[in-house]
């Protein structure tokens, strides 16, 4: 509560007239320039609130006389970045994919664009860094069904696998069990043979019988020695990497009623330069040939 | 002369007019030290960016350069990288503790002698005195009517102030960009907006702070005076008026016959008139006092002229003054006391840590980071592959060739991602001078061995130029025991 303003005996200064439990506040005058600074800042603040977007409303807000908007700024910034990038992306589009690596600057752009696009579009199935998952190929490995050269990867990304696109890569593993082409015992033997192709695995009991079944049914796509055929997408059975699992049960299941995964064609979603960049990135993950 | 007791109660405003300070010129020991430090500090500030220091082709030849675009701080023969930021932290700790120590021993020496605000204000006051004359002339002219004489003097003063301020603002820029180049670019209109902007900013702040704001900065803006009291104690040497000697102050002859026995202070106000912050030191230690000691010089001069002993105002401790006032025996000045010992030991620790850090600073930095995803990859021949990112920092001004091997699984092969070399047990990486390189490296272990989920391995990196061997621990990951078969 304001009380009488009086002269403080000790300091010789006025009190402000404010007193709390016997403690009286001394008047320590503020320099006037400080006050003027405050007033100038207040005036500036009012002007700023008029010019810039300031007052929120329920469904909109006061836009300010300058019409400034951070959202518009972001749009402009993004457009500026895209424009700046356009030159490099055009160059990537015009450069054959094998030549991109020869230009360090172009390579850096392709790697960055590829990495980001991969994370946004490919990672859900193929895993971070192309680590793969059961049923989804490990792109960081050197085991390829359709080829690991730059152009081959680019082709796969562009048109997909069993995607429905006319240029899509398509292979068809017959349903040997489900369609009754082979008897269960023959399938079992064939699985033993397939597993024996890989070094370090314990041979099953029916390898010899399996070899006969294999020679009669499988060599057209998988090759005479099971070495695979990239022309038709026949997987190399010597590889230690198996898309649908490497246990005997998994191999039997894949012969009887095969799973046929689908990779979308990305040419309808990504532009050619971006696809090239993704192919370049995937090639760099470790398996590129 | 209490500045607050001019008006009766209730008439004191809540807002104070600024009382213009017209410091008078003074001669003496404090002033001489102040001049010397002013010349030294300003010389360092203006000259340092122009010193050339050859570092080899393609590298800046400025002795002191904080190059923001390439993220390097060049200081004569030492080049600091962003990774050395801890040394900057150490430097700031050194400065802070050093300031604490000096302040607790000798009062506000920093404020009175070395603070840029003090140095530039002193410089601006010198200009002012040259053009407008000393205290009395300035006061008379300011109080008088507008005349041609007043106008040209004011114009000349502000012109020179602006010139000095511009020189200062421009000098600041030169610590960040090559001084001769930026000078040429500046006048040719080729310099960047940043250069012009910052030059303007520092010109404006120098002009306003040293020309106009002056003691208001120390009294109202600067935080340092606010926590001075934590560093000062009754054993600190401060500028102090020896009241027991000076009081009762008064004009008049000092002889035995004078009825009212007067002290040494003749109340001539010389100490107030020379004070750059406009205070009366006879009121005792106060916030506004920057400890410059100009009042000591002024008073010594008066004491000489009145035939009295010098040092009525002197550097002394509050404890000694209290004893002198009581007529007791005076204790010696105690420089060594718990507070100063603590500051000193903290300072010593910081100096040792900094010195060691600087001396042991490695010019090669290596880190090996295991790839996070995928942790491992099975290759078609059954081999297991782990990928690592090797970050190799070469702070030397020459290329460094690293020979890299791995101490771990037998028959393992190394390969730099993207390189055409055949995988082998040894790889070579050349890191160009003054650069940071990140290299992705594959480590393949052929099938047949035991596969553990996690194996400790070591990357051995030998710098073949200097023979330095760096060892970095890493992990080799795998699926564990193979299922099925």
CA distance A243 to B119: 76
Locate all alpha helices (DSSP H) within B309-434, ordered by sequence: 318-326, 338-359
Subunit contact A241:B14, Cβ cutoff 8 A: no
Contact residues, chain B, for A141 at CB < 8 Å:
377-380, 385
What pLDDT score was predicted for residue B483?
43
Cα dihedral B237/B242/B243/B247 (nearest 10): -170
What pLDDT score was predicted for residue B7?
65
Subunit contact B14:A131, Cβ cutoff 8 A: no
Subunit contact A27:B380, Cβ cutoff 8 A: no
Using CB atoms, which residue from A101, A202, A240 is nearest to B382? A240
Subunit contact A101:B10, Cβ cutoff 8 A: no
**Residue range A270-281: mean pLDDT, rounded:** 94
- Angle between helix axes B148-173 and B193-206 (nearest 10 degrees) is 130
Closest approach of chain B CAs to the CA of A67, in angstroms? 25
Range of the domain at B437: 364-477
Q: Which residues of A touch B (CB under 8 A)?
A: 5-7, 11-14, 16, 27, 29-35, 101, 127-132, 138, 140-143, 198-202, 236, 238-241, 246-248, 284, 286-287
pLDDT digits (tens, 9 = 90+) for A147-159: 899 999 999 999 9
- pTM score above 0.80: no
Contact residues, chain B, for A11 at CB < 8 Å:
2, 4
pLDDT digits (tens, 9 = 90+) for A243-269: 888 888 999 999 999 999 999 999 999
Closest approach of chain A CAs to the CA of B216, in angstroms? 9
Do A184-256 and A72-166+263-284 have the same topology in CATH? yes
pLDDT digits (tens, 9 = 90+) for B305-357: 988 999 999 999 999 999 999 988 888 888 899 999 999 999 999 999 999 98
Residue B1 has pLDDT above 50, yes or no: no
How do beta strands B364-370 and B384-394 pair?
A: antiparallel
Domain ranges of chain A: 72-166+263-284, 184-256
- Angle between helix axes B148-173 and B135-143 (nearest 10 degrees) is 120
With respect to residue B190, please indicate whether it lies within any of the assigned structural domains. yes
CA distance B112 to B121: 11
CATH number at residue B394: 2.60.40.10
DSSP string, chain A: -B----B-TTT--BEEEEEETTEEEE--PEEHHHHHHHHHHHHHHHHHHHHS---B-SS-B---TT---HHHHHHHHHHHHHHHHHHHHHHHHHS-GGGGGGSHHHHHHHHHHHHHHHHHHTHHHH-GGG--BTTB--TTSS--SS--SHHHHHHHHHH-BSSS-TT-B------TTTTTSS-HHHHHHHHHHHHHTSTTS---TTHHHHHHHHHHHTHHHH-TTS--BTTTTBPPTT-S--TT-SSHHHHHHHHHS-----B--GGGTS-HHHHHHHHHHHHHTTT--
Here the tokens at position A264 are: 């979308």
Residue B482 has pLDDT above 60, yes or no: no
How far from B291 is each of B34, B109, B225, B226, B296, CA to CA, in Å?
A: 11, 6, 11, 14, 10
CA distance B168 to A26: 41
Subunit contact B15:A29, Cβ cutoff 8 A: yes
CA distance B375 to A260: 27
Q: With an 8 Å Cβ cutoff, is B447 touching chain A?
A: yes
What size, in residues, is chain A?
289
Residue A130 burial (C-beta neighbours within 10 Å; 0-12, 13-18, 19+)? buried
- Nearest residue of B to residue A282, measured between CA atoms: B418
Closest approach of chain B CAs to the CA of A131, in angstroms? 5
Closest approach of chain B CAs to the CA of A275, in angstroms? 19
* Domain count of the fold of chain B: 2
CA atoms within 13 A on the CB side of A237: 23
pLDDT band at B485 (very low <50, low <70, confident <90, very high): very low
Q: Tokens 């991109």 sit at which residue?
A: A100
Residue B67 DSSP class: E
Q: Which of B185, B218, B251 finishes a domain?
A: B218
Q: Tokens 């700024």 sit at which residue?
A: A73
With respect to residue B259, please indicate whether it lies within any of the assigned structural domains. no
Q: With an 8 Å Cβ cutoff, is B12 touching chain A?
A: yes
Which run of H or E residues covers position B38?
helix B29-47
Instruction: Decide: B457 and B409 in contact? Cβ < 8 Å.
Output: yes
CA distance B110 to B132: 29
With respect to residue B416, please indicate whether it lies within any of the assigned structural domains. yes
The domain defined by A72-166+263-284 folds into Cytochrome Bc1 Complex; Chain D, domain 2 (1.10.760)
Mutate to test the interface with B, among A286, A287, A289 (most CBs of B within 10 A): A286
Subunit contact A32:B374, Cβ cutoff 8 A: no
Q: Is residue B123 helix, strand or coil?
A: helix
Q: With an 8 Å Cβ cutoff, is B374 touching chain A?
A: yes
**Largest Cα span, chain B:** 122
Instruction: Decide: B476 and B458 in contact? Cβ < 8 Å.
Output: no
What pLDDT score was predicted for residue B256?
62
Q: Which of B186, B218, B250 finishes a domain?
A: B218
Residue B49 has pLDDT above 80, yes or no: yes
Q: Which of B184, B218, B252 finishes a domain?
A: B218
A195 vs B5, higher pLDDT: A195
Quick one: which of B392, B388, B438, B391 has its CA closest to B414?
B388
What homologous superfamily is domain A184-256 in, according to CATH? Cytochrome c-like domain (1.10.760.10)
What pLDDT score was predicted for residue B2?
46
Using CB atoms, which residue from B17, B378, B447 is nearest to A32? B17
pLDDT digits (tens, 9 = 90+) for A89-142: 999 999 999 999 888 889 999 999 999 999 999 999 999 999 988 889 999 998
Contact residues, chain A, for B387 at CB < 8 Å:
129, 140, 286
Contact residues, chain B, for A240 at CB < 8 Å:
378-383, 447
């Amino acid at each position: 509560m304001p009380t009488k303003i009086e002269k403080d005996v000790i300091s010789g200064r006025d009190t402000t007239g404010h007193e709390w439990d016997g403690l009286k506040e001394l008047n320590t005058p503020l320099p006037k320039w400080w006050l003027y600074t405050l007033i100038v800042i207040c005036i500036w603040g009012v002007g700023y609130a008029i010019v810039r977007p300031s007052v929120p409303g329920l469904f909109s807000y006061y836009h300010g006389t300058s019409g400034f908007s951070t959202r518009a700024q972001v749009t402009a910034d993004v457009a500026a970045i895209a424009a700046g990038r356009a030159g490099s992306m055009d160059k990537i589009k015009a450069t054959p994919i094998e030549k991109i690596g020869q230009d360090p600057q172009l390579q850096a752009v392709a790697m960055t664009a590829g990495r980001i696009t991969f994370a946004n579009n490919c990672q859900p199935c193929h895993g971070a860094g192309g680590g793969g998952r059961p049923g989804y190929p490990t792109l960081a490995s050197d085991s390829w069904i359709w080829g690991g050269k730059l152009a081959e990867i680019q082709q796969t990304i562009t048109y997909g696998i069993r995607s429905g696109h006319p240029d899509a890569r398509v292979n068809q593993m017959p349903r040997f069990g489900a369609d009754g082409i082979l008897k269960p015992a023959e399938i079992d033997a064939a699985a033993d043979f397939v597993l024996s192709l890989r070094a370090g695995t314990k041979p099953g009991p029916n390898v010899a019988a399996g070899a006969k079944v294999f020679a009669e049914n499988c060599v057209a796509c998988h090759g005479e020695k099971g070495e695979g055929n990239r022309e038709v997408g026949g997987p190399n059975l010597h590889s230690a990497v198996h898309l649908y699992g490497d246990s005997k049960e998994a191999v039997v299941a894949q012969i009887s009623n095969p799973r046929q995964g689908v990779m979308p064609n990305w040419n309808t979603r990504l532009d050619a330069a971006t696809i090239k960049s993704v192919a370049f990135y995937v090639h760099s993950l470790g398996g590129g040939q | 002369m209490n500045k607050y007791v001019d008006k009766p109660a209730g008439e004191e405003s809540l807002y104070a007019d600024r009382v213009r300070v017209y410091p008078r010129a003074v001669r003496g020991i404090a002033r001489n030290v102040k001049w010397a430090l002013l010349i030294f500090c300003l010389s360092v500030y203006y000259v340092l960016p122009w010193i050339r220091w050859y570092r080899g082709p393609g590298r800046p030849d400025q002795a002191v350069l904080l190059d923001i675009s390439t993220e390097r701080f060049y200081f004569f023969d030492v080049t600091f990288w962003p990774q050395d930021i801890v040394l900057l932290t150490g430097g700031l700790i050194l400065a802070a503790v050093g300031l604490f120590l000096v302040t607790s021993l000798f009062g506000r020496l920093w404020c009175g002698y070395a603070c840029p605000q003090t140095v530039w204000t002193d410089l601006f006051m010198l200009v002012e005195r040259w053009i407008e004359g000393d205290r009395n002339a300035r006061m008379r002219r300011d109080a008088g009517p507008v005349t041609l004489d007043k106008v040209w003097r004011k114009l000349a003063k502000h012109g020179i102030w602006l010139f000095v301020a511009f020189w200062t603002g421009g000098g600041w820029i030169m610590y960040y960009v090559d001084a001769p180049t930026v000078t040429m670019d500046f006048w040719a209109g080729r310099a960047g907006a940043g250069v012009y902007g910052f030059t303007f900013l520092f010109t404006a702040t120098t002009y306003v702070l040293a020309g106009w704001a002056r003691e208001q900065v120390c009294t109202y803006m600067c935080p340092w005076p606010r926590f001075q009291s934590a560093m000062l104690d009754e054993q600190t040497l401060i500028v102090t008026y020896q009241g027991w000697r000076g009081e009762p102050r008064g004009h008049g002859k000092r002889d035995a016959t004078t009825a009212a026995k007067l002290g040494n202070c003749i109340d001539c106000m010389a100490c107030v008139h020379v004070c750059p912050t406009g205070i009366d030191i006879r009121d005792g230690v106060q916030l506004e006092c920057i400890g410059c000691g100009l009042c000591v010089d002024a008073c010594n001069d008066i004491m000489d002229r009145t035939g009295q002993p010098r040092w009525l105002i002197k550097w002394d401790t509050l404890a000694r003054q209290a004893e002198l006032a009581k007529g007791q025996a005076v204790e010696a000045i105690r420089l060594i006391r718990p507070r100063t010992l603590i500051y000193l030991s903290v300072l010593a620790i910081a100096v040792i840590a900094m010195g060691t850090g600087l001396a042991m600073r490695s010019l090669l930095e290596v880190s090996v980071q295991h790839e996070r995803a995928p942790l491992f990859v099975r290759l078609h021949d059954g081999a297991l592959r782990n990928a690592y990112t090797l970050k190799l920092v070469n702070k030397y001004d020459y290329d460094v060739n690293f020979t890299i091997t791995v101490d771990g699984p037998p028959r393992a092969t190394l390969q730099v991602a993207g390189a055409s070399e055949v995988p082998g047990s040894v790889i070579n990486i050349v890191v160009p001078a003054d650069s940071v390189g990140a290299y992705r490296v594959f480590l393949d272990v052929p099938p047949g061995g035991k596969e553990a989920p996690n194996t400790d391995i070591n990357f051995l990196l030998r710098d073949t130029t200097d023979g330095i061997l760096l060892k970095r621990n890493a992990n080799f990951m795998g699926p564990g025991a193979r299922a099925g078969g």
